[in-house]
Amino acid sequence: ETGVTQSPTHLIKTRGQQVTLRCSSQSGHNTVSWYQQALGQGPQFIFQYYREEENGRGNFPPRFSGLQFPNYSSELNVNALELDDSALYLCASSSPQGATKNIQYFGAGTRLSVL
């Protein structure tokens, strides 16, 4: 079990609403990445935050936004929810140095359902 925690576990929203998902990174990790995993698919990279700055973004529209805080925890915000946003949202933390360099450790995810 990793030290990455995500909240909430499950969430139900309606189309057009906004949602915030939260992630606490593993101790000592200053990098957080977010992925979207649709049912039956592999995860898709949304974006990454390193030391509170966005450090790469995947092919997701601007209504997907994020934050990283000084304690390296992170939020994923999605505005104007669409039905296709229903997915498992995964957070991963990593460190750019040390024995676990370049290894991403994942939380259990937040299951978002958009009705």
Residues near other proteins (CB under 8 A) are 2, 4, 31, 33, 35, 40-45, 48, 55-56, 58, 90, 92, 94, 96, 102-109
CB of 63 to other proteins, least distance (A): 20
Which long-range contacts does 35-44 make (Cβ < 8 Å, 24+ apart)?
35/89, 35/90, 35/91, 35/92, 36/60, 36/85, 36/87, 36/88, 36/89, 36/90, 37/87, 37/88, 37/89, 37/90, 37/109, 38/84, 38/86, 38/87, 38/88, 39/87, 43/90
> CB-wise, 38 or 80, nearer to other proteins?
38
CB of 43 to other proteins, least distance (A): 5
> CB-wise, 16 or 96, nearer to other proteins?
96
Nearest alpha-carbon partner for 114 in 15, 39, 9, 36: 15
> CB-wise, 34 or 81, nearer to other proteins?
34
CB of 79 to other proteins, least distance (A): 23
> CB-wise, 16 or 56, nearer to other proteins?
56
CB of 14 to other proteins, least distance (A): 24
| Token pair of 51 as six digits | 């030391």
